[in-house]
Each structure stands twice: as structure tokens, then as C-alpha cells.
Amino acid sequence: MTVYDDRFSQYITDLFAAQDDGLRHALEDSPKQGLPAISVKPEEGRFLQFLVRTCGVRQAVEIGTLGGYSGIWIARGLLPGGQLITLEREPRHAAVAREHFEAAGVADRVEIRIGDALETIRSLSAEGPFDFVFIDAEKSGYRAYFDWALANVRIGGVIAAHNAFRHGALVDPHNTEADTEAMRAFNRRVASEPRVISTIYPGGDGMVIAIKNVE
Ligand code: SAH
Ligand code: MG
């Protein structure tokens, strides 16, 4: 019997994912500024922070900044002197995120790069290898982002990707939307990749996690 449901999600959030003013502000202010309310949940943010610290991350990349909520969690998991480079296509989202990074006290550790991440990742390779990559942008790009991440993280580096469950659509056999099929293909791609050890963390909307094992 699986016992995990929203009550346990809330229980974890209340116990382990308490938000300070900076996090709460980023989460609540983003929709007020017209951004979609699609940030990771506190429970997932805490998990990202935990991952980043367990793998001793100095150089992290995020693909899909939005209002900076997940970026604040990631930035707060970095080792001292570490840096997060976060990629965002929409200048408006980047401007809002910049305010939120400042309010949360992490602006000194975070650099936002504006542009289509499918393009900006190309020149970013020269700044690697990276310790951690978080993928949370358009679903049709996930496979390309994963291939890039796999080539640009060190051995022992971790790749995480949000929305593994696509709000339940993935396990609904009648749902054949393009983004659902894209996530199914993505999950299969990661699961069958022999260079990583991977699984899905089932909190929130599901997080694909993969650690690079060999070059
Ligand atoms: N990680 C954020 C949520 C990201 S939502 C959080 O949890 O707080 C997805 C973001 O990806 C949006 O801001 C969207 O504008 C951006 N995005 C979508 N396609 C993109 C692309 N090709 N390149 C860069 N950013 C993209
Ligand atoms: Mg997401």
C-alpha cells in the first residue's frame, strides 16, 4: 500500500520546508506580477536544496527561472563561493526574478541569462563542467537539455528535471497531448541511459533525478 498523498506532502512541508520572508515573497509575488503560478512547491524546493548540498555543488545551472523561487532554494544549497547560472527566455520573468533574488539575499550568487536556453546552453558549455543542472522549462526541450546536461556535468554531478508526472497526465493512458508524450519519452530516455543512476522523486509533480556515473 502506498500511503503518500497530499496530507503527507503538507506534513513534509510544515516540518521541513518552512519558508522565510524571501521565499514566501518570491512565491506569492510572482503571480501578482503576472507570471504563471507554476513554481516548484516548497517541498520540492527543499529537495533541490538538499540535492545541491549533498553533491557539494559549486557550479549549478537552472533552465527555466520564472520568478526565481526554485533558484532561491538552489542558491541556498550551494557551497560557500558557489554560483547558480539560471536561464530564462522571457525578459519580464528575469526582471521579476532579479528582484526576488535580491530580496532573498542570494543575488550575489545568482546570474540570470536571458534568451532561448536551447541557444544559450551552447556557449555555456565552455564554463563547465557543472555539478548540478535543474531542468524546468518547455517540455519539448527536455531531451535536448538532458543531453546537454549529461555532456556538461562532472562524474558525480546531478541532473534534476521537474514535472515528471505532468500533474498525473503521464499515467492516464487517454492523455496523448504533445507535452505528455514529450515527458513520457523524456522519462524513458533517462531511465534507459546507462551512464546515469536515475529515478523519480515522487513529491510534488515528480522530479526526475540522475547522477552521472561514467563519462
Ligand atoms: N523553475 C521555476 C519555474 C519555471 S517555469 C520555479 O520553480 O520557480 C518555466 C520557465 O521556463 C518560464 O519562466 C518560461 O518562460 C521559461 N522557458 C520556457 N521555454 C524556455 C526556453 N526555451 N528557454 C529559456 N526559458 C524558457
Ligand atoms: Mg515545473
Span 71-84, pLDDT tens digits: 999 999 999 999 99
Question: What is the best residue among 39, 40, 138 to mutate for testing ligand 1's pocket, by most ligand atoms within 8 Å of CB?
Answer: 138
Report which of 136, 130, 123 is spatially closest to residue 63, judged by C-alpha positions. 136
Which of 68, 113, 51, 67 lies closest to 87 in space, CA to CA? 113
- The CA 65 to ligand 1 mean position distance, Å, reads 5
CATH code (residue 179): 3.40.50.150
User: Is 75 domain-assigned?
Assistant: yes
Question: Is 27 a member of any domain?
Answer: yes
User: How does DSSP assign 40-93, residue by residue?
Assistant: PPHHHHHHHHHHHHHTT-SEEEEE--TTSHHHHHHHTTSPTT-EEEEEES-HHH
Collect all residues with Cβ–Cβ distance below 8 Å to 115 and sequence separation of at least 6. Answer: 87, 89
Q: Is residue 19 part of a domain?
A: yes
Say if residue 2's pLDDT is above 90. no
pLDDT of residue 58: 98
Q: Residue 106 contacts by C-beta under 8 Å, 6 or more apart in sequence?
A: 22, 71, 72, 75, 76, 84
pLDDT in tens, 12-37: 999 999 999 999 999 999 999 999 99
Length of the chain: 215
Find the 63 Cα to ligand 1 centroid distance in Å: 6
What is this structure's pTM?
0.98
Half-sphere exposure of 174 (CA within 13 A, CB side): 0
Ligand nearest to the CA of 31: 1
Residue 130 has pLDDT above 90, yes or no: yes
- What pLDDT sits at residue 184? 97
- Does 126 reside within a domain? yes
> What does DSSP assign to residue 214?
-
Q: Is residue 163 assigned to a domain?
A: yes
Torsion of CA 97, 103, 109, 111, to 10 degrees: 20
Ligand 1 binding residues, C-beta < 6 A: 38-40, 64-66, 69-70, 87-90, 93, 116-118, 136-138, 141
Strand, coil or helix: what is 129?
coil
Q: Which residue has the higher pLDDT, 144 or 4?
A: 144
How far is it, in rounded angstroms, from Cα 41 to Cα 136?
13
Q: Whose CA is nearest to atom 12 of ligand 1?
A: 66
Q: In angstroms, what is the span from residue 86 Cα to ligand 2's centroid?
A: 14
Phi, psi (5° rounding) for residue 208? -70, 130
pLDDT above 90 coverage of the chain, percent: 98
Name the domain count of the chain.
Answer: 1
pLDDT grade for 1, boundaries at 50, 70 and 90: confident
pLDDT at 109: 98
1 within some domain? no
- CA dist 29 and 41 (Å) reads 15
Please measure the distance between the N-terminal and C-terminal CA atoms of the chain and give it in whole angstroms: 38
CA of 106 to the centre of ligand 2 (A): 21
In the predicted model, what is the mean pLDDT of the chain?
A: 97
For residue 154, is it within any domain? yes
Residue 149 lies in a domain: yes
CA-wise closest residue to 134 among 70, 178, 89, 83: 70
pLDDT, tens only, 155-179: 999 999 999 999 999 999 999 999 9
Concatenate the DSSP letters of all residues of 140-161 into one string.
GGHHHHHHHHHHHEEEEEEEEE
- Range of 41's domain? 6-212
- 66 CA → ligand 1 middle, Å: 5
Atom of ligand 1 nearest to the CA of 35: 13
